[in-house]
Structure 1
Amino acid sequence: MEDRQSLSLPLLSAAPPTSANQSPFLSNQAIALRLLLVAFVGITSLLANHEASKGFDITILNNAKPSPAGQRFHLFYVSNDEATRLILNASSFIENLIYPSQAFPKKPVKSVHLTLSRTDLSSSYAVEKLHDGGDDFVLHLSPSIFNEKNANRAMSVAVFRGMSRVWLWDGEAHAPPSLLAGMVEHIIAAAGLVGEKYSGGVASTLTAACDPTWWKDKDPTEMAMFLDHQEKEREGFVQRLNQGLKARWHDRTVEDAVGVPTQHPCGSVN
């Protein structure tokens, strides 16, 4: 059976009526206690509403519950709402990064379904739309995450990558996968979640990206380093590139979105 959890607001129970024979002191005390209870529940509701007001619904599904990975997922991420917090924290960072103002219209996201898969995936995560052309997304997590030495970090990184992919436009599903993967890694680097392979600086591997189709068939880490360089040279590069991917991808998307000539993408990089 699936282990399902959704965000919901707490319900306020009706207070029992006071007795007509109660003394004024006891009556006032009871009223004060009720007011405190109402205030507490109200604050709790406001906090829950704040958490849920990020603009999308969250559902957590555990499709691997009988397995050791599924049991750990339930104990450490479902039962205590940690999975929901991971999604919200990642989403907050990503939205602030790639949609810093109203000048950068957000991609519509109605709901996110975080699912621990029954079987291992080819990657730690996968993202798909729940319905073609809709705003509902499924973020699949691989049970192999729990085989990692630091499973907590692996979970955080997988959720962060998945939510990055959810929030990035994709050129109406026609943008080069290597470009999108590189943009995800750029976001991961900005969040400080990268390993030793990516320091965020300009490395010699950037020279491999200096060709007319630098966005095609490149290693995601290499692409992220290139994007990092372009961001430093042209502040807002990644945000404008993401906005350019709202429309259907074509070979002039990059030049139209960020003004980087396709034939000379690297500038002074050498």
Structure 2
Amino acid sequence: MEEPLLHDPSSSSSSSSSSSVSSPSSTTIIIRLSTIIAVAAISLWANYEASKGFEISIVNAAAGSLAGRRFNLMFVSNGRAARMVHHASQFVEHELYPSNLYPRKPVNRVTLRMASHNLTTTVSLTSGRGPADFVINLSPSLMSPSDTYAALASAVQRGIARVWLWDGGGTAPEPLLDAMVDYLAMIAGFASPTHVITDAVSQEPNGTCWSGEFLRHCDGRRQEFIARLNGAMRGRSWELMVDEALGSSVRRMCEGYRSSIGQLRESSDATPELVELRQVI
């Protein structure tokens, strides 16, 4: 007669022990994986913040108006405004500081502020609380154009350009700074060269003709010209270094540029009959 099967206590104990061991082991693995993912995410965010190089703040002083609500909905709530500042800064920094040979202007914080009322210009720059803090003021009128995104992107591009430009300790002439802002906006795709050419022909009393198109003309003649020019404006004696950045006299370069623009206009304005008459003469 066969003996009845008896339950082995040691076997049950071993199985229970094995189960209890495997359960904490799985939990430990999950915790470790979660920790690794969290650390990786924090590292990526830290690298992103470090790549920006400065703190970005967005302020909407027109929150109660239609323009303010549009700004908040289209650019603030989704982080688009901050990304605009970051991307514009990357572009400008690459043009003005292509290498360590060009000392960078200290920038710790940039505040993009939608003003509470329309400004005389679409964008302006004011100082923040510290010497390396800047406020880019935007006019609510920017929220009116049909292509609001392009209008705001252009304004941000110009504002950021002004942030990164040296200004000779406040002694650099506004026409020169405006021309550099125009040039940086132009090569970023936010300006009409035709309009700038018209402005370029007007000459300043000191013989210069600063404009975005003139600076593009100069940049085509000398590598890293715009970076050299910006570096020349780092100190108060910037006037002595501008000619060096150009590699020629500013007045001479301007005269040559004005002459070439005049010939270009003369050629573009000529009718076939006028061209034939000139050839006869």
Give the structure with the higher percent helix.
Answer: 2
2-side partners of 1:33 and 1:242: how far apart?
54
| CA offset digits 1:18-77 (Å, max 9, x no partner) | xxx984444333333333332333233223222221221111111111111111222222
Q: Is the alpha carbon distance of 1:184 and 1:205 closer, same or farther for their aligned partners in structure 2, counting shifts above 3 Å?
A: closer
Counterpart position of 2:127 = 129
1-side partners of 2:220 and 2:115: how far apart?
38
Structure 1 residue 268 displacement after superposition: 4.2
Are residue 89 (structure 1) and residue 80 (structure 2) matched? no
Contact 1:172 1:249 in 2 (8 A): no
Counterpart position of 1:9 = none
TM-score, normalized by length of structure 1? 0.80
Are residue 71 (structure 1) and residue 69 (structure 2) matched? yes
Q: Is the alpha carbon distance of 1:170 and 1:39 closer, same or farther for their aligned partners in structure 2, counting shifts above 3 Å?
A: same
- 3-state SS of paired residue (2:90): helix
Alignment of 1:1-270 (within 5 A): 23-53=20-50, 54-131=52-129, 134-195=131-192, 197=194, 206-209=200-203, 212-215=206-209, 223-248=211-236, 251-266=239-254, 268-269=256-257, 270=259
AA aligned opposite 2:181: V
Contact 2:68 2:140 in 1 (8 A): yes
| CA offset digits 1:120-175 (Å, max 9, x no partner) | 1111111111147x111011111111001100111111111100000011111121
- 3-state SS of paired residue (1:45): helix
AA aligned opposite 2:246: V
Q: Which protein shows a greater Rg? A: 2
The answer for unaligned runs of 5 or more in structure 2 is 1-17, 260-281
The answer for unaligned runs of 5 or more in structure 1 is 1-20
Q: Is the alpha carbon distance of 1:23 and 1:83 closer, same or farther for their aligned partners in structure 2, counting shifts above 3 Å?
A: farther
Contact 2:97 2:104 in 1 (8 A): yes
1-side partners of 2:133 and 2:207: how far apart?
32
Contact 2:208 2:251 in 1 (8 A): no
Contact 1:175 1:249 in 2 (8 A): no
AA aligned opposite 1:41: A
- 3-state SS of paired residue (1:102): coil
Identity of aligned residues (%): 31
TM-score, normalized by length of structure 2? 0.77
Q: Is the alpha carbon distance of 1:79 and 1:212 closer, same or farther for their aligned partners in structure 2, counting shifts above 3 Å?
A: same
Contact 1:211 1:263 in 2 (8 A): no
1-side partners of 2:92 and 2:47: how far apart?
18
Contact 2:232 2:238 in 1 (8 A): no
2-side partners of 1:204 and 1:76: how far apart?
35
AA aligned opposite 2:177: L
Structure 1 residue 185 displacement after superposition: 1.0
| CA offset digits 1:191-226 (Å, max 9, x no partner) | 122236358xxx5765545985315xx5xxxx0000
2-side partners of 1:153 and 1:198: how far apart?
18
Contact 2:107 2:133 in 1 (8 A): yes
RMSD: 2.6
Q: Is the alpha carbon distance of 1:59 and 1:141 closer, same or farther for their aligned partners in structure 2, counting shifts above 3 Å?
A: same
AA aligned opposite 1:232: G
- 3-state SS of paired residue (1:113): strand
